[in-house]
Amino acid sequence: MIELIEIAPKVLGLKILGKISEEDMHKMIAACEKKMESAERIAVYVEVVEMGGISLNTLVEDLKFVLPNLKRFSKKAVVSSSKWHEPLIKIGDKLFPSIEVRHFTPKQREDALKWVKE
């Protein structure tokens, strides 16, 4: 499940609580498009409480939206107690240099929010 979090006009805030469904992805894409109406580039804040997986169809929906819009994203803050995605962040930095991605622990949540709003 993805819960939308209101953070700032140019920041898309998301909280992941378990498995991400296609419905969640459509809700997230709609919120992202709305943010992009009033900003050339936006930042993304993702708080991972529990990652329960994502179906292939849902992942495809995400990629169909994100890939053509890569240059519309400035940075992404990932808040999680898990470190499994840190290698993915390093790979993403090489593949998508226009987006700055940083990992924060739950104790660093306020730092993540401050950074993503800069």
Q: Which domain, by its residues, includes 104?
A: 2-117
For residue 63, the model assigns a pLDDT of: 86
- Model pTM score: 0.89
Enumerate residues 6+ apart whose C-beta is below 8 A from 14: 2, 3, 4, 5, 28, 44, 45, 46, 47
Domain count, the chain: 1
For residue 82, the model assigns a pLDDT of: 79
**Residue range 84-93: mean pLDDT, rounded:** 66
* C-alpha–C-alpha distance, residues 50 and 53, integer Å: 9
- Give residue-wise pLDDT tens across range 8-33: 999 999 999 999 999 999 999 999 99
For residue 51, the model assigns a pLDDT of: 81
For residue 90, the model assigns a pLDDT of: 67
For residue 98, the model assigns a pLDDT of: 79
Q: Residue 49: give its domain's CATH number.
A: 3.30.750.24
